[in-house]
């Protein structure tokens, strides 16, 4: 069976398991499927679980410290049942998670299986988690807190097809809480409406962080994602709350944004909910240069691109010297007709295969075959 056929079959099987982030049983089931693929091999499968989210680390040694880490997630965003029945149309495999990122995980799984007896893979770890779509704290974040590390980490979950991603924006979310004074809706002058206060605060925030469009999209963005308040239509709201998400570059950080928000609002208490750091890849390193050249060799581009979104690569900031990010050709993530290109998965496999062997031969001082 060809590499493409193996990757297609494996991706098909993974897509059929509806491993939505909130369905912990399905997440456990998809990892059990992967574990079964390594039964009878010389690989060790380590299980981890944090706050109900399971993860796997597959390697030749029972450790979390490696020379090279392959990192992916097998959880997906919610979909209807039909999206878990994959189908092929030409070069495209359709189904929930095909692009994000079960196809890429199939590439990494197949690479590990094919190199079971390779001396190059004695110090390689494959990490698969099931909580990336809900933040990643209980998957890669938890494993890094336990000591997961390597000089070089590969995360095929962002950027442009077969193109190195050199930058991912920082991601920080805030909660705004406003209190009012309740009263009957027939006599609003007897109360203070918390919703109206929140509206005033949000107007001030929107004025300071106006909507952006290309070519200015690399500045700080602010999205008002959730708004709630009040308890009855005929009552003056005593409480209102909202959550906002901000993406930023290197010119600011979560602490500065929190300070800015608190200076803008008149009524709300502002609390930081979550933070993801900026990911900036070291483009001058020999490792990055090798990676980008092999993407180009296999039909991609060596020119680095920036990414607005974030992925589990952020947890390796300050842990890994080289964070390598790319993805296969695919539809946008999370769409109804999600698909991944099978030929692009094969190209990704060949680029990753040659990169791993070359990189590991140099770092482990082994002769290249």
The CATH number of residue 136's host domain is 3.40.630.10
The domain boundary, picked from 224, 248, 276, lies at 276
**Domain stops at, among 276, 298, 329:** 276
pLDDT at 220: 94
Question: Is the per-residue pLDDT at 368 higher than 80?
Answer: no
pLDDT digits (tens, 9 = 90+) for 268-323: 999 999 999 999 999 999 999 999 999 999 999 999 999 998 999 999 999 999 99
For residue 255, being part of any structural domain is answered with yes
Please give the pLDDT value at position 369. Answer: 54
What average pLDDT does the segment 239-259 reach?
96
325 and 250 housed in the same domain: no
pLDDT value at position 216?
81
For residues 101 and 19, state if they share a domain. Answer: yes
Closest-CA residue to 345 (of 125, 91, 142, 153)? 91
Whether the pLDDT of residue 367 is over 70: the answer is no
Confidence of residue 214 (pLDDT cuts 50, 70, 90): confident
**Residues paired with residue 240 on neighbouring β-strands, in sequence order:** 178, 229
Task: Give the mean pLDDT of the chain.
Answer: 96
Q: What is the DSSP string of 313-326?
A: GGGGTTT-SEEEE-
pLDDT of residue 31: 99
Q: How far apart are CA 125 and CA 148, in angstroms?
A: 10
Q: Are residues 177 and 291 in the same domain?
A: no
119 and 12 co-located in one domain = yes
Which pLDDT band, with edges at 50, 70 and 90, does 210 fall under? very high
Q: Are residues 84 and 18 in the same domain?
A: yes
Residues 269-278 have pLDDT tens digits of 999 999 999 9
- Kindly state whether residue 369 falls inside one of the protein's structural domains: no
Q: Per mean pLDDT, which range of 101-105, 153-157, 159-163, 364-368 is the poorest?
A: 364-368
Residues 216 and 118 in one domain: no
Split at pLDDT 50, 70, 90, the class of 215 is confident
Q: What is the phi/psi pair of residue 215, to 5°?
A: -95, 20
Whether residue 135 sits in one domain with residue 39:
yes
Average pLDDT over residues 228-240: 98
Q: What is the pLDDT of residues 53-103, one digit of tens each?
A: 999 999 999 999 999 999 999 999 999 999 999 999 999 999 999 999 999
Q: What is the pLDDT, as a whole number, of residue 217?
A: 86
Q: Give the contacts of 226 (CB within 8 A, at least 6 positions apart).
A: 241, 242, 243
Query: In terms of domains, do 209 and 340 share one?
Result: no
Where is the domain boundary, 230, 251, 276? 276
Query: Which pLDDT belongs to residue 102?
Result: 99
Task: Check residue 365 and give its pLDDT.
Answer: 63
pLDDT greater than 70 at residue 27:
yes
Grade residue 366 by pLDDT with cuts at 50, 70 and 90: low
Domain count, the chain: 2
Helices (H), 38-152: 103-114, 140-146
Question: 308 and 272 in one domain?
Answer: no
Burial class (CB in 10 A: 0-12, 13-18, 19+), 225: exposed
**Considering the chain, what percentage of its residues have pLDDT values greater than 90?**
94
pTM: 0.91
Provide the CATH number for the domain around residue 182. 3.30.70.360
**Are 137 and 101 part of one and the same domain?**
yes
State the residue range of the domain holding 161.
3-168+278-363
Distance from C-alpha of 70 to C-alpha of 112, rounded to nearest angstrom: 9
Same domain flag for 57 and 156: yes
pLDDT of residue 364: 67
**Tens-digit pLDDT profile for residues 91-131:** 999 999 999 999 999 999 999 999 999 998 999 999 999 99
Could you tell me if 190 and 325 lie in one domain?
Answer: no
In a domain, 253, yes or no: yes
pLDDT confidence tier of residue 1, bands split at 50, 70 and 90: confident
Assign residue 251 a region (left: φ > 0; alpha: ψ between -120 and 50; beta: otherwise).
alpha
């Amino acid at each position: 069976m060809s590499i493409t056929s193996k990757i297609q079959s494996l991706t098909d099987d993974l897509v059929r398991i509806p491993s939505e982030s909130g369905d912990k049983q399905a997440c456990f089931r998809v990892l059990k499927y992967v574990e079964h693929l390594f039964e009878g091999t010389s690989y060790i499968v380590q299980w981890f679980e944090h706050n109900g989210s399971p993860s796997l680390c597959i390697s030749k040694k029972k450790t979390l410290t490696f020379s090279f880490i392959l990192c992916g997630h097998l959880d997906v965003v919610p979909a209807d049942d039909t999206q878990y029945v994959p189908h092929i149309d030409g070069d495209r495999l359709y189904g929930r998670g095909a692009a994000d990122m079960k196809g890429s995980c199939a590439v990494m799984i197949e690479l590990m299986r094919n190199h079971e007896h390779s001396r190059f893979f004695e110090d390689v770890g494959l990490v698969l988690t099931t909580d990336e779509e809900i933040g990643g704290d209980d998957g890669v974040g938890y494993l890094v807190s336990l000591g997961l590390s390597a000089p070089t980490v590969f995360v095929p979950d962002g950027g442009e097809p077969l193109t190195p991603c050199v930058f991912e924006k920082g991601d920080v979310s805030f909660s705004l809480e406003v209190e009012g004074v309740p009263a009957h809706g027939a006599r609003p002058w007897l109360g203070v409406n918390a919703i109206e206060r929140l509206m005033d605060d949000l107007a001030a925030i929107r004025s300071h962080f106006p909507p952006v469009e290309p070519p200015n999209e690399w500045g700080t963005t602010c999205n008002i994602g959730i708004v709630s308040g009040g308890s009855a239509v005929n009552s003056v709201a005593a409480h209102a709350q909202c959550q906002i998400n901000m993406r930023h570059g290197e010119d600011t950080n979560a602490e500065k944004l929190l300070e800015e928000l608190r200076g803008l609002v008149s009524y709300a208490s502002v609390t930081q909910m979550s933070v993801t750091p900026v990911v900036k890849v070291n483009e001058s390193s020999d490792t990055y240069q090798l990676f980008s050249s092999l993407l180009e060799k296999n039909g991609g581009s060596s020119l680095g691109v920036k990414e607005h979104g974030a992925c589990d690569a952020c947890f390796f900031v300050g842990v890994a010297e080289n964070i390598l990010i790319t993805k296969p050709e695919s539809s946008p993530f999370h769409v109804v007709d999600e698909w991944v290109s099978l030929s692009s998965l094969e190209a990704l496999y060949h680029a990753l295969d040659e990169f791993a062997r070359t990189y590991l031969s140099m770092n482990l001082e082994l002769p290249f075959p």
